[in-house]
Each structure stands twice: as C-alpha cells, then as structure tokens.
Amino acid sequence: MAALTPTPHNGAKEGAIAKTVLMPGDPLRAKYIADHYLSDVTCFNEVRNMLGFTGTYQGKRVSVMGGGMGMPSVGIYSYELYHFYGVESIIRIGSAGGFSDDVKVRDIVVGISASTNSNYAAQYKLPGTIAPTADFSLVERAVAEARKKDIPVKVGNILSSDTFYSADAAANDAWKAMGVLCVEMEAAALYLNAAYAKKKALCLLTISDHLYTGEALSAQERQTSFHEMMEIALGIA
C-alpha cells in the first residue's frame, strides 16, 4: 500500500478492513449492523460520514461500510476497497422496489445478474454489451444459508437504475415484462468493479416497496428491520 490512507474517501489504515465487506447503502444501517451483530468493533472510517466498521461475527472478522446511493457512489467505494484495501468480497445488502408479481414487501432477492440503464460499463470499451453478474459461489452460499435458516429467497435478474425519478413512464412495464424482479441503484457497478478487479460480489435485497401494489416500508423500518437479509450476509461473510 502506497500510503496509510491511500484515498481521500476512506480514512482506514492498512489492515483495518476485513477481506469481506458488507455494504448497505445507508451508513446508519452499517452502524446498526455493527452495533447489533458484531463484537470487538472498531470504526475505521468517518470521512463524509460514510461510516465503516470492522468487528467479529461468530469468530469471523467482518467489515461493514456504507456505499451511498447510486452507481457513482458505490463505484468509488467498492473500487477502492478492492484495489487499495485488499478486500476480496463485497456483499451489498440493500432495499429494492418490486416489479414482479412473484415478489412482495419484505421478500429477499438474490441478484444473480444486474441489468442496467447506466453507461457505467462504457469505460471498459468492450466490443459489445456485458451482462454484470454476481459471483456464483456467493450466490450458491447465500441460497444455502437462507435454506438453513428457513428463509425463502427469490433468485433472478434485477435492475440497477441511474434514475430514481424517471421521465419514462413506460420503463417499469418494459423491465417487468422481461422478468426483472425489482429495481435498485448500485449492483451493476459493484458487479462490474468486481469483474474488473477479479474479485467477488453479491447483491442481496429486501423489497422495501412494490411499484405495482403500492405497499411500502417506512424509512425507519428500512434502516432497522432487514434482519433476515443481514443474517444471511453475515452467515456467508
């Protein structure tokens, strides 16, 4: 490592971050996980209030850090974790809006692939369109962990969108028609960063609202109630 703090976005010193990082979007959700699940916790980052913690879960050293909203934000933090801090696996744990009739609020989705309307992959100058995908070993372990805990999960294609407020009123119907389960805003960039770094990534999502039924969780419920998703992620960390 070239410097004790090789990035202006992360105040962690060398060795302060575990090989596996759980990454919620909300830094307060990272703090919640550290407070409620980890022991011997240290805070390794407070820069921009993007809180990061390292501790122990069932004898395993694990870190948890916020990733922010959108692909530019998670793109920066995950790139730096992979390339500057020696992180091998990032498991995003986030919320999503349901598309499919097969998912409902509080369901857990394992994003095996991440369709996107983002131009994030253009930087790689590929002679075609890449399909951002999760690491299969993490997918396999997450599904096995969920079964062990008797937690039902849906596995499938998700949408990583650059737009939360879209001017295209027909977009959701088009994605739903193609079998996309839900929409979030970060996984595609995470999966692409992992592929480029030859590292591992997975996105686990809890359906916080459904775009077709109108069901929704409150902001407080989103921050503190995603226990099953958190426990699956911690179980495979």
pLDDT of residue 221: 76
For CA atoms 34, 31, 154, 213, the dihedral sign is positive
What secondary structure does DSSP assign to 133-168, as a single string?
B--HHHHHHHHHHHHHTT--EEEEEEEE-S-SS-S-
Average pLDDT, the chain: 95
Give CA separation, 235 vs 37, 141, 145, 146, 213, in Å: 11, 9, 7, 9, 32
Catalytic residue among 107, 150, 173, 209: 209
Instruction: Give the burial class of 11: count Cβ atoms within 10 A of its Cβ; 0-12 exposed, 13-18 middle, 19 or more buried.
Output: middle
| Measured distance CA(182)–CA(121) in Å, rounded | 21
Share of the chain above pLDDT 90, in %: 93
pLDDT of residue 2: 43
| Measured distance CA(30)–CA(95) in Å, rounded | 13
pLDDT of residue 6: 83
Please name the residue that has the structure tokens 């039902």: 152
Report whether 83 contacts 89 (CB < 8 A): no
Q: How confident is the model at residue 219 (pLDDT cuts 50, 70, 90)?
A: confident
Q: How confident is the model at residue 1 (pLDDT cuts 50, 70, 90)?
A: very low
> Average pLDDT in the 103-125 region?
97
> Which fold would CATH assign to domain 20-236?
Rossmann fold (3.40.50)
Residue 5: pLDDT over 80: no
pLDDT of residue 224: 63
Please name the residue that has the structure tokens 């500057």: 84
- List the structure tokens of 175: 């994605």
| Measured distance CA(34)–CA(29) in Å, rounded | 9
Q: How confident is the model at residue 169 (pLDDT cuts 50, 70, 90)?
A: very high
pLDDT of residue 223: 61
Residue 102: pLDDT over 70: yes
The secondary structure of residue 83, as a DSSP letter, is: H
| Measured distance CA(24)–CA(32) in Å, rounded | 10
pTM higher than 0.85: yes
Does residue 209 have an active-site annotation?
yes
- HSE at residue 234, side-chain half, CA atoms within 13 A, is 22
Give CA separation, 176 vs 4, 11, 98, 181, 208, in Å: 46, 41, 9, 7, 17
